[in-house]
Amino acid sequence: MIQPSPGINVIEGLRHARTIVPKRAEPFRRGFEAFTRQATGMHPIKSTAKSVLEGLGAHWLGRSLYKHCALILMYHGLTPAKTSPDWGQVPADKFEAQMHYLNSHYNVVTLARLLEMMASRRVEPYTATVTFDEGYGSTNKVAYPILKKLGIPATVYLTTGFITPQHDPVRYIWSDYISVLLTSSGESKLDLRPWGSEEFDISDATRLYRARRRISIHLKALRTEDKDGVLKALEDRYADRIDHAQFTDYHPMTWEEVGTLQREGLVGFGAHTRTHPILSRLDDRHLEDEMLGSRDDIRSRLGTAVDDFAFPSGRRVDISPAALALARREFKSAATTVSRLNRLGQDPHFLYRIGIGNDLQLPRFKVLISGMYSFDK
């Protein structure tokens, strides 16, 4: 799973953007730059300054400045609930409002079409594509009816060891499994000091999710066997207390659902490893098994070519040179979770994506996807 990106220095983005800004936008850019310097003191934009910018309609300026950049949106799960403490679970009504806005203000295309435009160095104005990671059941049950109604194509990067055949016991992405185990524990505290971590307060949903994020960050930095050891210890302690019906937001699609989506034609599939490891922690043999194995799993299930890959967790630190080289050799594109728009000339094996989280109100969504908060330095 990925985390929300830290604030980005807009001033730096604007400095860079001078090379691509049309002349008529210059006065706006200068005015905006002066305002943000005042409002933020050259620091990453703070929440109050963001609210002001959103009130002023800063998304129109971003759209003008960066209209020939390619936007790739990144979602994880959707929830039918109105709110979720989990950044990766976007409430369905928010997602629907976001898709309506996207559909009426952007040229929404397939990932393949977007890559063609980038390769030919002619990205039509406001070009965007939509992606989902993992292959949650909600991608089919909640997102797909909305995408279908609006005719929006999407790419789903599948963690193939997570996808179940129908009637198999449910599986979880390992970072979600932390939430499932801790919620099921019934405990108010969790002591992970014996594993080099800390003691966590898990007495309510917000604290528990905060603990899950910190544990997840701690585990991402460990060798895979050590990470699995901690997960196994938690599993041994709490797995028999899990009521799986409580955690449907974290459940996967079945292969049957994947096949139906593929036949309907609006959704394409990319590979996202088998077990969602941190690739920079793997040796070459496991790296190949995870990256190429997930591609082969999809190929053999769907009988189609699989050209696209997304790096699990997807921060720069998670992507080793070996993983990048393998992606270049075996896939046409690879996506990160680095939150930026893609300029002309962006490496197709290091695509930037703007991640959409649970708590994003529509005004902030508009500014975020305009590139105003996250342009490349």
CB of 293 to Zn ion, least distance (A): 16
Q: Answer for the pair 201, 147: CB distance below 8 angstroms, yes or no.
A: no
Question: Do 136 and 79 contact (CB within 8 A), yes or no?
Answer: no
Q: Which is nearer to Zn ion, 268 or 312 (CB)?
A: 312
User: Binding-site residue total for Zn ion (CB under 5 A)?
Assistant: 2
133 counts as binding Zn ion under rule CB under 5 A: yes
Check residue 135 and report its DSSP letter. Answer: T
Nearest residue (CB) to Zn ion, 9 versus 224: 224
- From the list 23-31, 48-56, 126-134, 262-270, the region that binds Zn ion by CB under 5 A is 126-134
Site for Zn ion in 290-319 (CB under 5 A): 312
- Encoded one letter per residue, x for contact with Zn ion by CB under 5 A and - for no contact, window 42-61 reads --------------------
How far apart CA 285 and CA 301 sit, in angstroms, is: 23
- Closest separation in Å from C-beta 55 to Zn ion: 34
Say if CB 166 and CB 254 are below 8 A apart: yes
Q: Closer to Zn ion at the Cβ: 133 or 318? A: 133
Pick 13 or 312: Cβ nearer Zn ion: 312
| Number of neighbouring beta carbons within 10 Å of residue 36 | 23
Please tell me the distance from the alpha carbon of residue 35 to that of residue 172, in angstroms, as a whole number: 46
The CB density around residue 11, as the number of other CB atoms within 10 Å, is 17
Least distance (Å) between residue 53 CB and Zn ion: 30
Closest residue to Zn ion, judged by C-beta, is: 133
Q: How far, in Å, CA of 28 to CA of 18, rounded?
A: 12
Tell me if 176 contacts Zn ion by CB under 5 A: no
Find the part of the chain contacting Zn ion (CB under 5 A) among 19-27, 127-135, 176-184, 230-238: 127-135
Query: Dihedral sign, CA of 129, 347, 60, 51?
Result: positive
Distance CA 174, CA 176 (A): 5
Window contacting Zn ion (CB under 5 A); options: 128-136, 255-263, 291-299, 317-325: 128-136
SS3 86: coil
Of 156 and 341, which has the nearer Cβ to Zn ion?
A: 156
Shorter beta-carbon distance to Zn ion: residue 200 or 269: 269
Could you tell me the smallest distance in angstroms from the CB atom of residue 344 to Zn ion?
A: 27
β-bridge partners, 252: 136
User: What one-letter code names the amino acid at 193?
Assistant: R
- For binding to Zn ion (CB under 5 A), which residues are involved? 133, 312
